Structure 1
């Protein structure tokens, strides 16, 4: 029987982000009472959760803080049935410049969340991983038993965070599931990711689209499918103590992706390689293609939005929100 979210208080960390805010919207639609933990900013910007602030009947409580603050996390978790831990320092290029920041936020922050969940006897912790932990595919499609390969400081920090979360299952029987999305995309995604990077350049009128390596392949999953996967895993007892991939099982090269986005946008442009956007040779992940058997067979999850439809919807969103982007600047 599916969870009745009407009777539950849940915490979403990283709630103002791309996937986090989409998940908050889904939980609200299902009747949940949501605590949305957002990173404290002195200018009080709440991003895509701002619409909940002005609604006196909103079921969303916004809590500003930092997952590096164990006490703040402990308070946020108290009384929650389910915790969706999405807060993380993301972006591979920046991890080359500031690896220590990734350790503090991703590993130590996850320990704070897991310990708070243990202390407050949370029913389920859903910890967010990333397909980057697999590195370049040694075998494809990539199942959850694929070796983990830290090809960037970011991926290393996420591997550490995954292991920290799972250690709380083995050591303390905390019911935790590691949810591993593959290249989520869609409306609200920032310019640091490849799809909005391409679309922002296109919709700003650029005739040359500047990218890094064009040969890697990725398995792109639309954001509502990823968020639905989190909800499915929250209701899947078989997934406790393990990791589950959320991907489509379809791959596309960055070169072909750029061509598809040019077509979806109705623009015309040439794709060129910008050396400043290339990863170090040993750090580039050449191939990511998911095996989503566990998610399908254990929880009945499967992606519903095709890449073609998702790219068109994302293109429209970027065009309508082009003011949010700086198309001619490389965002690390």
Structure 2
């Protein structure tokens, strides 16, 4: 029998893009998964709880007594119009969850907080490791870095693990993100696509690889107290991503650079050094970007 069979896990943001894959990953490995989210839902194990409601969070944690908490609930689209919302959800919402978790009768074995590689900003180039000086360049990134600093106040009360995922994608990601936008144009066989800088190289992972690594981190007690980059360590330019889609679909598309999408002083190459995670977890079989694109295009 698996050591995780029947282990109780709570996933926040269970209806989100990552949350749905996280649940599937945990259930596949024998976990009893419950989830919370802000929208109504009727599925087994789901609780509608807003992260602004500390008392409701306390009640759910008292009822579920999770051994693992994976906190994915966040406002993640950088272009979201209201800056205040980033801080209400990503910072204050996380603080409320930690407060409620710390006051539980039964302390979880691990609490994983999903931060973001956006905390590194756009000024450091090359393969960034966890020691790279943060330089957040937008309210989303600032809210995530503030969340990390706030969480450090709870390290003596809770077994925390912080992840900093670089870009990742997959079926079901919102169309306002870059890869889904490109895929959508090919699925519709559009003649033209407007993008920003085409010759910048970025690190892309598959959501299925990301949730696989999250599960492994919560299962390793040695991860407690650590901060880990989640990345592929391989970079592709947007021009290369488009070329892969052309090859996979047989459809040619005209590339146009829209000045409105071009960021000034954008670093040419940005990837995640994931050697800390590999040192703890060993080597893993990451889904290659070509296979992710093939899956999304299908």
Distance 2:118 2:79 in 1: 13
| Residue pair 2:186, 2:297 contacting (<8 A) in 1 also | no
| Residue pair 2:125, 2:268 contacting (<8 A) in 1 also | no
Measured against aligned partners, the alpha-carbon deviations of 1:233-262 in whole angstroms (never above 9, x if no partner) come to 102222211210111110112222222222
Corresponding position: 1:145 with 2:113: no
| Residue pair 1:35, 1:76 contacting (<8 A) in 2 also | no
Distance 1:220 1:235 in 2: 24
Distance 2:2 2:150 in 1: 27
The DSSP-based 3-state class of the residue aligned with 2:271 is coil
Measured against aligned partners, the alpha-carbon deviations of 1:178-237 in whole angstroms (never above 9, x if no partner) come to 011111111111112111101112211210012223233211111111001101110222
Distance 1:168 1:119 in 2: 11
Distance 1:183 1:235 in 2: 23
TM-score, normalising length: structure 1: 0.83
Distance 1:164 1:158 in 2: 10
Post-superposition offset of 1:138: 2.3
Q: Which runs of 4+ in 1 moved over 6 A?
A: none
**Pick from 281, 288, 295: which aligns with 1:299?**
281
Post-superposition offset of 1:278: 3.9
The DSSP-based 3-state class of the residue aligned with 1:92 is coil
Please give the root-mean-square deviation of Cα atoms over the aligned residues, in Å.
2.0
The DSSP-based 3-state class of the residue aligned with 1:122 is coil
Post-superposition offset of 1:301: 5.1
Distance 2:77 2:246 in 1: 24
The DSSP-based 3-state class of the residue aligned with 1:288 is strand
Corresponding position: 1:274 with 2:273: no
The DSSP-based 3-state class of the residue aligned with 2:69 is strand
Equivalenced residues, count: 294
**Pick from 46, 52, 59: which aligns with 1:75?**
59
Post-superposition offset of 1:124: 0.9
Larger proportion of strand:
2
Quote the residue 1:326 is aligned against: none
Quote the residue 1:84 is aligned against: 70
| Residue pair 1:222, 1:307 contacting (<8 A) in 2 also | yes
Distance 1:286 1:154 in 2: 22
Post-superposition offset of 1:139: 4.9
| Residue pair 2:2, 2:29 contacting (<8 A) in 1 also | no
**Pick from 198, 205, 212: which aligns with 2:196?**
212
The DSSP-based 3-state class of the residue aligned with 2:48 is strand
Cα 1:119–1:303 change in 2 (3 A) is farther
Distance 1:116 1:301 in 2: 35
Distance 1:182 1:137 in 2: 15
Quote the residue 2:121 is aligned against: 135
Quote the residue 2:143 is aligned against: 157
Cα 1:76–1:214 change in 2 (3 A) is farther
Distance 1:113 1:146 in 2: 28
Structure 2: gaps (5+ residues): none
